[in-house]
Structure 1
Amino acid sequence: MSTMTRQRVKTSASERVASWYARYFPDSLIFALVLTVVAMALALIFTDSGPGDVLDAWFVGIPMLFTFAFQLAFTYAAALVLVDTPKVQQGIKWAASKITRPQTAYIATGVLGALTSFIGWYIGPVVTAIFARAIAKEMKNVDYRLISAIAYSSFVISLTGISGTIPLFVASEGPLTETIGGLIGLEDTTFSVMNLVSAAAIVIATTVTFYFIARNKKEIVSFADLAVSGGVPASAEAGGSEGEGDDSLGGSNTFADRVNKSRIPILTIGLLGLGYLVYFFAQNGLAGLNLNTVAFIALVIGFLAQKNAVAYAASFARNLVSTGSIMLQFPIYGGIASIFAATGLAGVLTDGLVSVATPETYLTITFLITGVLNLFVPSAGSQFVATAPFLIPGGEAFGIDNTLTVMAITYGDIWTNLIQPFWALLYFPILAVGTKLRVRDFMGYCLPILIIVGIIWILALNFLPLHL
């Protein structure tokens, strides 16, 4: 008998919210298309731009994030290659096999997700999704929708971490360096007291919240309940690489075949890359972290982990398919970001809201503004480029440290990811394969976390110091 209850039971509040979300929230692509139309309408209503101007801005914005989309897709696929190795997968599954109670499974998933996401946004989703999936396959009394929600919500502190887009952006020379008053190092953002304390508070608070949500659940939908007939190929689960068989034309023991199967070429390049990374960070320290170095790190570690170049290429090609939603939707959000920036809509909205601010409320209002705008522009870099030219000077007018305004923008941008399905695309390819799981099946469980995280960050911005 399925673990999914077949009787009518009185569900908990969190289950009712999740059910409502699953029933009414559209697919992430539909969400992006609807937001495009809304952005166009707002630009026509609140700015002097005509239909041609708005469409011009949209057209210019579509390719604006091509480079960024490729960076993200490349980094994510390279990170998947690292995990797509038997030893790494076996290690994750071994850890999952040591967990025997559902509550422990939920807590372990959240803590692991937070730690790995803080280290790297490109690491957290891969490791956590595989870990959650492995646990759910082993334990029939784990709700797969809930553990998927826990895995995804743990991502909320990712962009305040070591690979955070905005902290890396303000730490690197760029078009807004003068606007923000010079470079702002990671020691003032990612590793500030305010950020580290608030991140710890979020991990504790969300863990406790999900503990009570899990304890009050009346309906358990297991992995087996959602699994489709036939499952998935064993190679997809175990990290096996395609394209490693015999060369049917050249034979199985030719010189080319032996070179293809040799680890020497890929290991040599991997070691060269590792040596350079040691040198590079010895020279530059944390200031050397940016999107390009993060991608290079993922590539080099993958070279060191995979057994040969052919296995690496096959794994990369297979995992690149998982980034299709990123490659498709990022340009769409680039168009939205361009509408906000080129028509002046972002300035109109921020100026209107900032006009009612005071020195005491400015950081909170900035946090809320960027949280709302994140629904339209979930790319942290794009949103920062669109809003920083208005919000940074506004903070300066109230005598607020530019670093605090940058952190308010950072927190607001990440905050509403808990109800914006775009970044769930990083988890979905792993969580959903071989199942009927949909993004909207688990996003509803993140709504209470949205409220808790919002309160913590507002308190942190207003009462915690950047440094002791």
Structure 2
Amino acid sequence: MSIEATSNVPVQDVDETSAGVLARMAHSFTAWAERWYPDAFVFVIFAVLVVAAGNLATGASPVAIAKSFGNGFWTLIPFTMQMAMVVITGYVLAVSPPATKLIDKLALVPTSAAGAVAWVSFVSMMASYINYALSLVLGGLLIRALARRTELRMDYRAAGAAAYLGLGATWALGLSSSAAMLQANPASLPKTISDITGLIPLSETIFKWNSIAMAVIITIVSVAIAYFSAPKGRHARTAEDMGCDPHDAPVSQTKASRPGEWPEYTTILPIVIGVIALGWVVTEFMAKAPLSVIGNLNTYNFILLMVGLVLHRNIHSFTKAVSAAVPSTTGILLQFPFYGSVAALMTAVPGSDGVTLAHHVADFFVSIANVDTFPVVIGAYSAVLGFFVPSGGGKWIVEAPYVMQAAKDLGAHMGWAVSTYNAAEALPNLINPFWMLPLLGVLGLKARDIVGFCFTQFLFHVPMVLFLLWILAPHA
């Protein structure tokens, strides 16, 4: 997929005559963020330093701090690999030949420019309930297919923002929720969290009726905003206007050119492996409850990877897709070990009073919240912190000990505490470019091109999500 760069597109490309006050505010905010906002990895380093400073403030010794930093660094290796595979499997599925054909058919559904943008938002959010990486790539490829329908004159920027709604609105409310998955997986759940919460099944988090109702409402509102905020007519900027080529590059090689390449291109090997994998999956579902099978990250990634292998039909296509997906895992591979250190610093370093920093933070939450206001307090906290520490759920490792301790002390519903965190964690993604990068790579756009439309969604989502967290909160 070769797309021309858009560095020649001026920052002032927001149509102020039609965008309105909110879009102009978003454009100003984005211009500031692009100049002053540092790389996301910097925030992880800041988190280590801030937590270490907090340890010192509670009277912890420098030796204990250094020891916990090193001891905690590699504690999240299994979870890091699991989340990296979530990204890879999503990409592999989205670029498989059957998925490509499906995308071309999906692109025939809309009949108007605004309808196309709304359709992209709907498809992206539906995909995000299964796999957040799938929503990014599928949404991006759908936009490219729609852009090839030049008669629509779809706004390429608004469509890009709509494809990002899977990450900015709903991803953590589905099977990609690392917090919910972690809490349901005894093999991945750190002792620092399990001692507080125990196992929390998916039926008490993402599959609880309250969480499902919240996801449905957020989806409907997001699609409506995408439709009514999309520029139309002469105000729309198409892919061509943005200097982007939505056409796919031709595949250079589709069959073996020498005998030694035959195993790479035969369909026999993927089918054989797929049959063996299917046999194992069947035994799992026969031996265990369906939710416990789906809730296991290893099983989830295994199924998606095997399906991807079969859909690509040959090893050559499959390995090319995996290679293309690997760069998208850089942030996870680099940041999660530091999250492990931060978690250790917060939960394993006692101060002069013998109490850890996580315990102090939990006491603070208990002091400012009650069982009724706890969801709103935690939701606002998660959203604010998520802007400074973007992650695919990795922050839960750091925050779960004191968030869940506070929920336990207040008598709040433990599963809803996880869902609260999930819903609020998506909010900062709407104005933070970190997770936009895979999508922008597919579209050939810059963050500044779509963040104004994302900010419009953000202004509606913040009060809506916080209200839903309060009104739908179940009793413990």
Q: Distance in 1 between matches of 2:388 and 2:340?
A: 10
Amino acid at match of 1:286: L
Partner of 2:175: 162
Partner of 2:472: 464
Identity of matched residues, %? 24
**CA distance 1:218–1:21, shift in 2 (3 Å):** farther
**CA distance 1:370–1:268, shift in 2 (3 Å):** same
Of 240, 262, 266, the match for 1:262: 266
Partner of 2:4: none
Amino acid at match of 2:277: G
**Which digits, 9 at most, give the CA deviation of each residue in 1:270-301, with x for residues without a partner?**
12112321321232211122221121012110
Summarize the alignment of residues 54-453 of structure 1 with structure 2, pairs less than 5 Å apart: 63-139=74-150, 141-155=153-167, 156-173=169-186, 174=189, 175=191, 176-180=193-197, 182-214=198-230, 219-227=235-243, 234-235=249-250, 240=251, 245-246=256-257, 252=258, 254=259, 256-284=260-288, 285-289=290-294, 290-331=296-337, 347-379=359-391, 381-431=393-443, 435=444, 437-453=445-461
Indicate if the aligned counterparts of 2:148 and 2:247 stay in contact, CA closer than 8 A: no
Distance apart, 1:101 and its partner CA = 1.0
Amino acid at match of 2:172: L
| 3-state secondary structure, aligned to 1:122 | helix
Superposed CA RMSD in Å reads: 3.5
Q: Distance in 1 between matches of 2:143 and 2:25?
A: 22
Amino acid at match of 1:297: I
Distance apart, 1:9 and its partner CA = 5.0
Q: Distance in 1 between matches of 2:238 and 2:144?
A: 11
Amino acid at match of 2:157: R
Amino acid at match of 1:145: R
| 3-state secondary structure, aligned to 2:194 | coil
Q: Matched residue pairs, number?
A: 449
Q: Distance in 2 between matches of 1:257 and 1:23?
A: 50
Distance apart, 1:118 and its partner CA = 1.0
Q: Give TM-score scaled by structure 1 length.
A: 0.83
Amino acid at match of 2:302: F
Partner of 1:30: 39
**Which digits, 9 at most, give the CA deviation of each residue in 1:385-431, with x for residues without a partner?**
32232232322333322222222233233332323333323423323
Amino acid at match of 1:164: S
| 3-state secondary structure, aligned to 2:124 | helix
Distance apart, 1:129 and its partner CA = 1.9
| 3-state secondary structure, aligned to 1:123 | helix
Which shows bigger deviation, 288-297 or 414-423? 414-423
Q: Distance in 2 between matches of 1:282 and 1:35?
A: 42
Distance apart, 1:102 and its partner CA = 1.0
Indicate if the aligned counterparts of 2:16 and 2:24 stay in contact, CA closer than 8 A: no
Amino acid at match of 1:21: F
Structure 2 unpaired stretches of 5+: 1-7, 350-355
Indicate if the aligned counterparts of 1:359 and 1:400 stay in contact, CA closer than 8 A: yes
Q: Distance in 2 between matches of 1:194 and 1:99?
A: 31
| 3-state secondary structure, aligned to 2:132 | coil
Distance apart, 1:21 and its partner CA = 3.2
Which shows bigger deviation, 332-341 or 150-159? 332-341
Amino acid at match of 2:184: A
**CA distance 1:243–1:74, shift in 2 (3 Å):** farther
Q: Give TM-score scaled by structure 2 length.
A: 0.81
**CA distance 1:195–1:70, shift in 2 (3 Å):** same
Summarize the alignment of residues 15-26 of structure 1 with structure 2, pairs less than 5 Å apart: 15-26=23-34
Which shows bigger deviation, 363-372 or 211-220? 211-220
Indicate if the aligned counterparts of 1:325 and 1:425 stay in contact, CA closer than 8 A: no
**CA distance 1:25–1:346, shift in 2 (3 Å):** farther
Q: Distance in 2 between matches of 1:145 and 1:59?
A: 44
Partner of 1:249: none
Partner of 2:352: none
Distance apart, 1:346 and its partner CA = 5.0
**CA distance 1:281–1:3, shift in 2 (3 Å):** same
**CA distance 1:9–1:426, shift in 2 (3 Å):** closer
